[in-house]
Chain A
Amino acid sequence: MGITHFCFGLSYLTALGMDLWQGWHPSRWPRLVSIVFSVAGLFAHTVFLALHQPSPASPYGSLLLLAWVFAVFYTYGNLHRKPYPWTIFVLPLVLVFVTLSLVFLRERSADEELWFSGERFWGMVHGTLILLASVGITLGMICSVMYLIQDYRLRKKRNPFGAIKLLSLERLETVNRRGINIAFPLLSVGLLLGAMRLYGTGTAPDWTEPKVLGTVGLWLVGGLLLYLRYGAHLPGRRLAWLTIATFALLLVTLLTSHPFAHGGTR
């Protein structure tokens, strides 16, 4: 069909440009253009994923899939425009994911199954759970960034009706909390499934694989986040920084190769 990363990447970039222009010079047409390009970008992205079916086991696949999920968030938010421009925090992240996926772009290897093929059911479930957990952590990160900006503005006694109107701290903290609360159990089950698959190969699993280490580390940090929030009642600003650190660890984990990629042990 001829759809490439540049099709949807440029569409998202144009939509972002229109959103930023709208912030400076409010008028109707930039918003309309932004909606058209975001819908077009999402359509192209969806078709691309359906045709190529990148595996979430690979950095390339996981980044593109994450970008798609947040592109859906962005497009929904754009169509149902609320007074809070949280969409301008989401789209740059989508563009970062798409750009990073290009760095890890590669052809599917002969021994790598299609994600939707159903040949490796538990592998698919494992990948999906880790992906959904990544969505939760990324959402938490976005809210944490907005939380820190809002916290800074409030401490500096800035005008609450400045250039960018943000959600309240409580609302941002709630969405962050829900993101992590959903991510942690998904990550736990996904990790368990992954461990079972590793042991299921019949050979001793290599626990020093970066992907494995990263995912286990992510689980530990997620658990720590939950404890610090509910047990130690850590202040919101510190929790926000910790969530951002968790996202950084997530990104590193996503960018490492999966043990089952490139003909790795099954």
Chain B
Amino acid sequence: MNLIAIGCSFRNTPVEVRERLALDDAKVARALGELSGRFACEAVILNTCNRVELYLARASEPPPGEETVAEFLGELHSAPAELVRRHLYSHAGADAVRHLFRVTASLDSMVVGEGQIAKQVREAFERSQKGSATGSLLNVLFPQAVRAAKRARTETGIALGHVSVSSVAVDYVRQVFDHFEDKTVLIIGAGKMGRLTLKHLRELNPKRVLVTNRSPEKAEALARECGGVAVPFGQLDDAMVQSDIVLSTTGASEPIMTRSRFEGIRRKRKGGPVVILDIAVPRDFDPKVGDCADTFLFNIDDLTKIREQTIAQRQKHIAPAEAILERECKKFCDDWAHRKHVPVIRKLTESFDQLRQAQVKKLFGQLNGKLGDEERKLIEWSFRQLQNQFLGAPIEALRDASKDGTSANLLEAIRKLFRLSDS
């Protein structure tokens, strides 16, 4: 398999170098054109904030190596080739397949199980395909990588839970509430983390979003941004009576909600639990508020702890995911080898069949009338046996070479030796 994966990632390259090697859309298009034009190879470029990788393949000879790619990237970025080459790694053949499968399944990501990388791999492939930079190998390899990654993610726990604080917060909300079209969300304050969490909460499609802030202008601005309603800060208690989910993210130095004040609000609120996400530091809600009936209070420490537990739990599922990817990698390599050598074996056999039949026909013509049926059958059988014994060794050698991944040269040699056409 003439395949190579060359690139750099957060594991071996500092961010300043990665930034220098990053490719925008225009550079990617130019690079793909040059790779397929200048080097006559299939190419897919995977360019994310944590890695830049080139997947190159050729039909009948090895694709460009590290040195050539380093010079190419250096030329593209007007950077010294030596600087680039120092940070590159490469994987060839089955190792390149394995690497791609691991990357797509997020096993090589900063956070194992993150969901974006599979989409990024798919988009990188589609971009190359659209630019006619892919061929027979990459057209099969990349879709298989996406499928293998999906298997690893669904059959193990590597993608279990969420690892961002705001997503963990929404997970907790979903443990309390089943549907959200009748729920009201209240956001107190306008901190950055609060906005991110609100973005996730809005994806649940709540009935209403109320926004309150000590600064009416900030409340109005955030309400416009999120399609909510601004509420004066003085009416906080009334807003809390109506709200099922409260997101608090003020910069107050003292708690804005004590237990006694909250109990008064709770008494007015008829039925139903309330979830309070207090992600402010220092905390906005007195921790004793969480002891009230049907009230669930989560602060930033609670959410961070779950995030860390989730990351630790995902680690336990890496080995089973690796095992799945290893099986998928082997299957792909075996299928690819089979795909390459079967047509050659068929042509070789057909070619010899024609020679054998022509020779037998000629012999029978010369011995016309002197042979009975039994003798004819014996002669045909003998010629067939001779053909099988003659072809047995090269076919077995080809199959063995396919398993080792070294069949490309042997295939070429057989084509030339026996003058097999490509049609």
Which chain A residues have a beta carbon within 8 Å of chain B's beta carbons? 150, 153-155, 157, 159-161, 166-171, 174, 233, 235-238
Contact = CB atoms under 8 A, between A and B. Distances in A.
In the A-B complex, list the 7 residue pairs whose CB atoms are closest, starting with the nearest. Answer: A235-B293, A233-B271, A171-B178, A170-B178, A161-B161, A157-B302, A235-B294
Contacts of A233: 270-271
A237 B178 contact: no
A155 B296 CA distance: 7
A167 B270 CA distance: 23
A232 to B, nearest CB: 9
Nearest to A238: B293
B84 to A, nearest CB: 42
Given A157-B302, A159-B309, A161-B310, 4 more contacts: A154-B172, A159-B161, A166-B175, A237-B293
A170 B294 CA distance: 11
A235 B174 CA distance: 19
Contact of A170 (B177, B290, B302): B177
B273 A169 contact: yes
Interface in B279-335: 290, 293-294, 296, 298, 302, 305-306, 309-310, 313
A174 B182 CA distance: 14
12 contacts: A154-B296, A157-B302, A157-B305, A159-B313, A160-B172, A161-B160, A166-B175, A168-B174, A169-B177, A170-B178, A170-B273, A238-B293
Contact of B294 (A153, A159, A160, A236): A236
B171 interface: yes
B298 A160 contact: no
B179 interface: yes
A233 B302 CA distance: 29
Given A236-B273, A237-B293, A160 B306 contact: yes
Nearest to A233: B271
A238 B290 CA distance: 16
Nearest to B171: A160
Contact of B178 (A153, A159, A167): A167
A225 to B, nearest CB: 14
B15 interface: no
B420 interface: no
Contacts of B161: 159-161
B176 interface: yes
A195 B161 CA distance: 55
B271 A169 contact: no
A16 B304 CA distance: 36
B273 A159 contact: no
A154 B310 CA distance: 16
Contact of B306 (A159, A168, A237): A159
B306 A157 contact: yes
Contact of B176 (A157, A161, A170, A237): A170
A159 B160 CA distance: 11
A157 B294 CA distance: 14
Contacts of A236: 273, 294
Contact of B175 (A169, A235, A237, A238): A169
A14 B153 CA distance: 30
